[in-house]
Amino acid sequence: MRKVVIHVFHADESSLGAGSHVAERIRQVMQERAVDLEVYIFGPAERALLNPALEDYNATLDGLIAAGVPVYTCLNTAKALNAEETFNQRGFRLAYARDKFVEYALEGATVISF
């Protein structure tokens, strides 16, 4: 099965909103379109996960996790933010960016970045 990866890096309102919204919209059609979906949050967008004022962004990602979509954050960034436990409790998976991006390349995934 083909895989679509939504990669959210930038923490401006448009990138956070569009990236999380597109991921949710793909989740809604992934079965009928026969694609797997994964989300990878990295850099400034990962820091935004700790901002309670960004309710829509955080709620959308929590909803994706609840729906069974694998949502990853960068392990190095999580460590730097002292947020490993917080992210684990919310259901985020942690993995090094280098490992995930190599994995995506090897499997021929389509990566869309925001």
Identify whether the C-beta of residue 80 lies closer than 8 Å to the C-beta of residue 101. Answer: no
**pTM score > 0.75 for this model?**
yes
- The yes-or-no verdict on residue 103 having pLDDT over 90 is yes
In which band, very low, low, confident or very high, does the pLDDT at 16 lie, cut at 50, 70 and 90? Answer: very high
* Angstrom distance (rounded) from CA 22 to CA 95: 22
The single-letter code of the amino acid at 27 is R
Beta bridge partners of 7: 40, 113
Q: Give the per-residue pLDDT at 101.
A: 98
Pairing of strands 35-41, 71-74: parallel
CATH class of 2-113: alpha beta
| CB-CB contact of 82 with 104 (8 Å) | no
CA distances (Å), 36 to each of 57, 78, 94, in order?
21, 25, 19
pLDDT band at residue 88, thresholds of 50, 70 and 90?
very high
User: Looking at the predicted structure, is the pLDDT value of residue 110 above 90?
Assistant: yes
Alpha-carbon gap, residue 10 to 21, rounded angstroms = 14
Mean pLDDT value across residues 60-85: 98
